[in-house]
Amino acid sequence: MPDEGANIQKELNPLANAERQFDEAAARLNLPEGLKEVIKRPRRATIVSLPVHMDDGSIRVFTGYRVQHSIVRGPAKGGIRYHPQVTLAEVSALAAWMTWKCAVVNIPFGGGKGGIACDPDRLSRGELERLTRRYAADLSDLFGPESDVPAPDVNTNDQVMAWIVDTYSMHERRTEYAVVTGKPLEVGGSAGRREATGRGVLLCVREACAHLKLPLRDARVAVQGFGNVGSVAADLMARDGAKIVAVSDVTGAIHDPAGLDVPALLAHVAKQRGVAGFPGARPLTGSIIEHDCDILVPAALENQITPENAPRVKARIVAEGANGPTTPDADKLLERKGIMVIPDILCNSGGVTVSYFEWVQNRMGLYWPEHEVNQRLEEIMVPAFRDVLAKSVEHGVSLRVAAFMVAIERVVKVIMLRGLYA
Ligand code: NAD
């Protein structure tokens, strides 16, 4: 008898999921086995032990990771996550997704990801800074504008990036901003970076609506997660005339069939630190994933759309703001229902695209106004969406498989031109 618990665990394992998505797309490209293996495996994985002086005088040792999945198309690019459940497997999966994400939008980066197993809520600001600096110092051989460029991820932010700039710069004996992206504006950050991922979600949704002939004006949208990605996506879609009928975050879920007043909700969240209790909306008792809407934007965590709830998803478009919100089996169920899933590696790639602009601006020493950043973002994301859609139509496959096919082909093309030093 199959072990159901083991199957569920496997379905929720990000590395297994990333490999399954890769295998399905690679199988359609008739790549030689050896080459497939070369591009599937992470190029380099580093584990470091990080001693930190704690405020109470004790010493604690944390474990940090950095995985460079690929540097074939350019420096490894990808965030650093602080979370108690960070593991090498999780970081490896996230690093691989970064390779495919950068290739799908055709920016000159490979893929990487880092993390430290820690609970930042239980660390003081001083402890967090010492931990960050020790991590940056230990990995400063790997990091660098030409080799490996980190960014924020879950529980890290622009302050953490500023500490990394400073640590790296002290070791290099000169200021080097281009070593990380997602920095504060005053420390070499880019205009438009904070909004970039949500803006990219909007650009993809516009394209998807045009393809499905579903007007975005008055379309009903449900957004899971009202943080950086979800709140900006909701705000921009509302400005395009969509009705944001439901949103959720860790504090709860609310809905209004007539459409929420998003600017008022943003002000409420800034004050109350959550969507719960927003006046003028009713609490949502059911699952936001199953809410009656035209467009569903999962923008919180991995594994939110599962085989259990996928049959009850009502949206016509699922725009994956989060990384890995749909499990592979759930993906198949959505596909069978005719729901268009805009895959994470395309849908949330606005963030890494503007990170690329930040890196370019740092290296030029010339900074663009926000309207120029937004214009350039559109010039990258709209063709990327169209490339993926064309591949999906040509091969009769989902947008996810098509996005992986586009990305893998781009990586393989560079390997073929450069040749393998093997
Ligand atoms: P964030 O911390 O700003 O926001 C996360 C939101 O999700 C918060 O509102 C939180 O309350 C909510 N949330 C957490 N658990 C929830 C749950 N169980 N149900 C409902 N809501 C829940 O994070 P973010 O930067 O917006 O990132 C969200 C997702 O987007 C992550 O998967 C992240 O990897 C991905 N992503 C972010 C960026 C970026 O530039 N910020 C880029 C690409 C991908």
DSSP 3: -
Residue 4 — very low, low, confident or very high, per pLDDT cuts 50/70/90? Answer: very low
Could you tell me the distance, in angstroms and rounded to a whole number, from the CA of residue 300 to the centre of ligand 1? Answer: 4
Residue 14 — very low, low, confident or very high, per pLDDT cuts 50/70/90? Answer: confident
Q: What is the pLDDT of residue 9?
A: 53
Could you tell me the distance, in angstroms and rounded to a whole number, from the CA of residue 175 to the centre of ligand 1? Answer: 31
Q: What is the pLDDT of residue 13?
A: 79
Could you tell me the distance, in angstroms and rounded to a whole number, from the CA of residue 303 to the centre of ligand 1? Answer: 13
Active site residues: 113
The best mutation among 197, 251, 357 to test binding of ligand 1, ranked by most ligand atoms within 8 Å of the C-beta, falls on: 197
* pLDDT, tens only, 15-28: 888 889 999 999 99
Could you tell me the distance, in angstroms and rounded to a whole number, from the CA of residue 350 to the centre of ligand 1? Answer: 15
Residue nearest to atom 28 of ligand 1 (CA): 300
Which atom in ligand 1 lies closest to the alpha carbon of residue 196? 40
Residue nearest to atom 1 of ligand 1 (CA): 227
Domain segments of the chain as ranges? 42-185, 194-347
Comparing 42-185 with 194-347, is the CATH topology the same? yes
HEC per residue, 131-176: HHHHHHHHCCCCCECCCEEEEECCCCCHHHHHHHHHHHHHHHCCCC
Residue nearest to atom 32 of ligand 1 (CA): 322
* pLDDT, tens only, 117-172: 999 999 999 999 999 999 999 999 999 999 999 999 989 999 999 999 999 999 99
* pLDDT, tens only, 240-292: 999 999 999 999 999 999 999 999 999 999 999 999 999 989 999 999 999 99
Which atom in ligand 1 lies closest to the alpha carbon of residue 197? 40
Could you tell me the distance, in angstroms and rounded to a whole number, from the CA of residue 180 to the centre of ligand 1? Answer: 20
Q: Which CATH number applies to 194-347: 2.60.120.10, 3.40.50.720, 3.30.160.270, 3.40.50.2300?
A: 3.40.50.720
Q: Using the predicted structure, report yes or no on whether residue 3 has a pLDDT greater than 50.
A: no
* pLDDT, tens only, 174-194: 999 999 999 999 999 999 999
* pLDDT, tens only, 77-133: 999 999 999 999 999 999 999 999 999 999 999 999 999 999 999 999 999 999 999
Within 6 A (CB) of ligand 1 lie: 154, 197, 224-230, 248-250, 299-301, 321-323, 348, 351
Number of Cβ within a 10 Å radius of residue 59: 8
Cα 56 from Cα 48, distance rounded (Å):
23
Fold (CATH) for 42-185: Rossmann fold (3.40.50)
Cα 47 from Cα 43, distance rounded (Å):
14
Residue nearest to atom 2 of ligand 1 (CA): 227
Average pLDDT over residues 196-207: 98
Give the CB-side neighbour count of residue 99, counting CA atoms within 13 A: 29
* CA distances (Å), origin 100, targets 44, 226, 343: 17, 26, 11
Q: What is the pLDDT of residue 7?
A: 52
Q: What angle do CA 157, 158, 159 make, to 5 degrees?
A: 90
Q: Using the predicted structure, report yes or no on whether residue 8 has a pLDDT greater than 60.
A: no
